[in-house]
Amino acid sequence: MMNSGTLIWFRILLILPFTSILTFVLTLIICSQIPNNIQPGQNLPQISELGTGQAHYYFMSGFIILIPQLLIMFIGRLQFLLQSQTIVHRAIIFFIHIIAFVSGIFVLIMAIVSLDDRENVHDIGAIGTFGSISIYCILHTILVIYLYIHRSKAFEHSNIIFLLWFLACTMIILTCSIIWVITFASIPEYIAAGTPFLYFLAFTPQFWTKAKQSKQITNISLTLHYSNREETLNVNEVS
């Protein structure tokens, strides 16, 4: 029963990077089609502006649905890092992921408090969301680089493709965030907001590996269970 639960857990983790992207994109698309307070003729508004007016309910609902997906995904990544290596202290890994969990609080503030009602509070949520997720990506990437350097002691972190993916996404996030802060242009904001979801896609292969391992363990357990059951029945028949 425990093995089956573990298998279900990793299968859920496997789809979350994709469902979170879908939730984020659909939220922005739906909000862009609902009447809001965007200035006429503004082709690409700031993300926060999409959640104004009548669109606020959809903006709030979309991001509230997104929060548990992100948090469960972070828990899965934390679990994987704790189980797959022993060279980095657990306290460091927990600290990095606490930053990720804190981002959920900022997302909630950004979602609930409309730009129309309390602009300062909404901005705190938006900046906190960008900041905490960016810091998480930076620290997590440094961790991945360290594990790759010491891959002889952490075999599951020996794939350079994951390292390059994390590094590239982190550089894009930082570059676009800086440009957005300086220029307040919409395109860098959308790229900076969307790239973390691409970053999280690299969690998928390792979730898949764990799901396969869990399935194999479950199959072995079931085989042993039925084998023992048949042996018991045969012994009883002989008796």
Q: Convert the pLDDT of each residue in 1-27 to its tens digit.
A: 446 777 788 889 999 999 999 999 999
* CA-to-CA dists, residue 149 to 157, 163, 236, angstroms: 9, 10, 58
* CA-to-CA dists, residue 145 to 22, 99, 162, 181, angstroms: 29, 19, 10, 28
pLDDT of residue 206: 86
pLDDT of residue 40: 66
pLDDT of residue 116: 84
Q: Is the dihedral of CA 64, 65, 70, 75 positive or negative?
A: positive
Of 34-48, 53-67, 172-186, 208-222, the poorest mean pLDDT is in 208-222
pLDDT band at 226 (very low <50, low <70, confident <90, very high): very low
**Would you kindly state where each structural domain of the chain is located, as residue ranges?**
15-34+45-202
User: What percentage of the chain reaches a pLDDT higher than 90?
Assistant: 60
